[in-house]
Amino acid sequence: MKIPARVLADQLKQIKDSGRFSPRSGALPTWCPGCGYFGIHQGLNECIASLGLPLHEIVTVSGIGCAGRYPFFTNNYGLHTVHGRTLPAATGVKLANPKLTVFAVGGDGDGLAIGGGHLPHIARRNIDVNYLLFDNSIYGLTKGQPSPTSPIGSKTKASPYGTTDRPLNATLMALTYGASFVARLFAGDPKGITEALLEGVRNPGFSIFHIHTSCVTFDKAFKTWTNLKKWTHPLPEDYDPTDIRRAFDEVLRDDFSLGVIYKREY
């Protein structure tokens, strides 16, 4: 049966207005005022609200970090694990009950440093987990040490003379690891996040959303709002996300083009 779009939109609105599925918890996020995570929160909340799924069938899994606090600010089920073990825990949740919609959220340190060993394997197994990687290129929670995505030369208290290590490119890694859905997004564009999520949630395998975001408290130099706004821009008009070669080309060429980078056709 095909439901007309208007009816669907009406139903959606009703669901939203009922507040029954309001995904936002009563707890006010404890992130610093101005933190990019608020935008991501908004984007994901909108997505959850639009999906119209009962909140008890949604699970948000996280590790440790400012990003890791996320589950406390939602009304669905949450699992706050230890540092870096977000993806293994999410794998367990999804395999245990495939009916659940699972979001994994975490910072760049959580996902690419301590938990970096897990990313290839969840992608390889193509577990139907939607992973939002909050990439602020810094360790927020522990007060501003360099992260695996900090650019060379980053000066922090833990690297007073500047870092010497090359940054990782999460989008490129995800493509390399064979993730079946890869999007690159910006916390300053919650609508873009919602749209990509709505599309990615439908991917029956591992979806990763690499989200550029700003740590206003500890990063005054690199991913500031001003810079991110200047740098980010949409993918080229004729972009085809089903073409993996095109995806690699794009990601090697440009760090900040936003949208669905790759989706596998089944």
Ligand X SMILES: Cc1ncc(C[n+]2csc(CCOP(=O)(O)OP(=O)(O)O)c2C)c(N)n1
Q: Which residues form the interface with ligand X (CB under 6 A)?
A: 64-67, 83, 107-110, 134, 136, 138-142, 147
Binding mask 26-55 for ligand SF4 (x = CB under 6 A): -----xx--x-x------------------
113: which residues sit within 8 A by CB, 6+ positions away?
84, 147, 148
Among the listed ranges 1-9, 31-39, 227-235, 251-259, the one in contact with another protein (CB under 8 A) is 31-39
The full DSSP string for 199-265 is HHHTSSS-EEEEEE---TTT-SSSS-HHHHHHH-EEPPTT--TT-HHHHHHHHHH-SSEEEEEEE--
Contact between 60 and 25 under an 8 Å Cβ cutoff? The reply is no
Count Cβ atoms within 10 A of the Cβ of residue 266 and give its class: 0-12 exposed, 13-18 middle, 19 or more buried: exposed
Among the listed ranges 54-62, 113-121, 176-184, 242-250, the one in contact with another protein (CB under 8 A) is 113-121
Among the listed ranges 156-164, 195-203, 209-217, 228-236, the one in contact with ligand SF4 (CB under 6 A) is 209-217
* 3-class state of residue 60 by DSSP: strand
Asked if 158 touches another protein (CB under 8 A), the answer is yes
Taking the CB of residue 57, how many other CB atoms lie within 10 A of it? 14
Among the listed ranges 32-40, 41-49, 198-206, 248-256, the one in contact with another protein (CB under 8 A) is 32-40
Asked if 150 touches Mg ion (CB under 5 A), the answer is no
Which residues would be at the binding site for Mg ion (CB under 5 A)? Answer: 107-108, 136
Q: Given the rule CB under 8 A, which residues bind another protein?
A: 30-33, 35, 64, 66, 69, 80, 82-84, 109, 113-114, 116, 139-143, 145-146, 148, 157-161, 217-218
